[in-house]
Amino acid sequence: MTKRLVTVGDLVVDLLLDVRLPITADVHQMSPTLLLEPGGACSTILAARNLGLDVAALGAVGADFQGRMLLDIMAGAGVDTSALLAPAGSTTTTVVALADQEGGGHVFLGNYGEGPDIALTDAAREQLKRADVVFVPGYSLVEERLRPLIEGVLEFVNDGPTPLYVDVGPFMGQLERVRVERVLALTDVLLLTEDEIPFVSDGETGIKACRRLLQRYPSLLIVLKLAGMGCRIMAPEIDIRCRGFPAAVIDTIGAGDVYAAAFIWSRIQGYALADCGTIANAMGAASVTKAGAGRGAPTRREVQALLDKHKTGLQLSC
């Protein structure tokens, strides 16, 4: 039976422009490219679908052009949006993503969608009951209108065996410490970058901070993403380093989102932890070779080609 991923929130539209950074006042630019793509958790969703997972999305989009666009794209990819809400008069979270494809780096300019609070509905609860994994991006934790939904999801995972994956992201540092601790206590797998470690470790940095987290939350598995250097997977009795893959970087936007999809897929399929890290690294490397993610999220074939090129011996099972 096909495994099922349920994602919670962070359904955004990215307007992607290729620019030269830094942006300076009164120094005008024209971008050679313009893309309008699903962003945030939509990239995770589409990458997971490319790998063969069933996916259901919880949360909200706006009753606007951007929301209709996201719903159409999700439907075309076979994503279950039956529990996704689009309240009348609401708007979709929209991000202007300025990426310097020549010099590297990017800047996000975002506007959170507006609308009524989103609660855990009966339809959403039924989706959670069918989930093999629940995934919450850190962005969702700080979107105020999603707070009732997030609380309902946390109560659900607290009461049952379904594993919770959380990707910290750059905004989780805005959460009150008590909420961070509540999320960590319920999380099975925590994905983060080195820059994001302080957001979950009360300001501490580095591997020592990760180890202290594991002492406090011994059931936690930490996946530390190290960009082109690969990743490091840590638990109280585990410390695995997974190699990265060289890539001609065009744009890193969405790489972490698709990485999460590949790691989740690999774990669900029963791969060894080291192989999960390697497959996710390959997904991330395949992503950065093109602009944005969204509908450009790497396919299974693209990830397999990279694994084969570097003679990993790994085969992506069905």
Is the domain 4-23+33-309 a CATH 3.40.50.300 member?
no
What pLDDT score was predicted for residue 227?
84
Contact criterion met (CB below 8 Å) for 9 and 44: no
Find, among 202, 256, 254, the residue nearest to 225 by Cα.
256
Mean pLDDT of 145-159: 96
Whether 101 shows a pLDDT value over 90: the answer reads no
> Which phi and psi angles does 236 have, rounded to 5°?
-50, -35
| Count of Cβ atoms closer than 10 Å to residue 225 Cβ | 25
Contact criterion met (CB below 8 Å) for 153 and 125: no
pLDDT in tens, 78-97: 999 999 999 999 999 999 98
The token pair at 123 is 């339809």
Question: Does the CA dihedral 109-113-119-122 come out positive or negative?
Answer: negative
What pLDDT score was predicted for residue 298?
94
The token pair at 147 is 């707070």
> Which phi and psi angles does 95 have, rounded to 5°?
-125, 130
Mean pLDDT of 104-118: 91
Whether 3 shows a pLDDT value over 90: the answer reads yes
pLDDT in tens, 5-48: 999 999 999 999 999 999 999 999 999 989 999 999 999 999 99
Pairing of strands 11-18, 94-99: parallel
Whether 292 shows a pLDDT value over 80: the answer reads no
What does the mean pLDDT of the chain come to? 94
Pairing of strands 231-235, 221-225: antiparallel
What pLDDT score was predicted for residue 124?
98
The packing angle between helices 41-51 and 65-76, to 10°, is 10
DSSP 81-129: -TT-B--TT----EEEEEE-TTT--EEEEEE----S-----HHHHHHHH
Find, among 192, 259, 253, 261, the residue nearest to 45 by Cα.
261
pLDDT in tens, 55-73: 999 999 999 999 999 999 9
What pLDDT score was predicted for residue 318?
58
Mean pLDDT of 251-274: 94
* Cα radius of gyration (the chain): 19
Confidence of residue 251 (pLDDT cuts 50, 70, 90): confident
Segments making up each domain of the chain, as ranges: 4-23+33-309
What pLDDT score was predicted for residue 62?
97
